[in-house]
Amino acid sequence: MNTTTKQPLEHWRVPVQLKLAALWASVMSCYIYGDFLGLYRPGDIKGILAGEGLLGPTSQGSLLAVAILIAVPAVMIFLSLALPPRLTRCLNILVGVLLTAIVLMTIPGSWAFYIFLSVIEVVLQLLAVWYAWRWPRNASDPAS
């Protein structure tokens, strides 16, 4: 008789910081693949070559704005692991809500693949907000 199926599966408690970093890494994957797949839409490469960008005509300013927008979740991967818990918590709530609002504004009129990835991004970003909001307190910490 096989008794291994009756035993609970091994599990370790994943620290909140690691969950947040993994969520931001997942968000970045969706961002990157969404942008990559967008290159396959008819006429997009022609528009890029003609200097048409996401925010109008391609310029240093518009590319910098997009670079900042993409860099934020990328940097959140590291910051979620490196910053003190209180600062990490606040930053994840703020950035998660802000980026969710931005993603929701980009959905109307988008192609199905982009809407699909955007929904995943929203869910992941809101999960980051939720985990940060519900960050467990250390019972032995007198400040909590």
**Segments in 1-144 forming alpha helices (H):** 16-38, 44-49, 60-82, 85-106, 112-133
120: containing domain: 14-133
* Cα–Cα distance, 32 to 44 (Å, whole number): 16
Prediction pTM value: 0.86
| The total number of structural domains that make up the chain | 1
- Residue 11's pLDDT is 83
Structural domain contains residue 57: yes
Is the predicted pLDDT of residue 71 greater than 70, yes or no? Answer: yes
Size of the chain in residues: 144
Structural domain contains residue 61: yes
Structural domain contains residue 7: no
As a whole number, mean pLDDT of residues 122-131 equals: 98
Cβ(107)–Cβ(115) below 8 Å: yes
pLDDT tier, 141 (very low <50, low <70, confident <90, very high otherwise): low
Structural domain contains residue 18: yes
As a whole number, mean pLDDT of residues 114-123 equals: 98
Structural domain contains residue 94: yes
Is the predicted pLDDT of residue 144 greater than 60, yes or no? Answer: no
Structural domain contains residue 91: yes
Q: For the purposes of burial, counting CB atoms within 10 Å of the CB of 78, is it exposed (0-12), middle (13-18) or buried (19 or more)? A: exposed
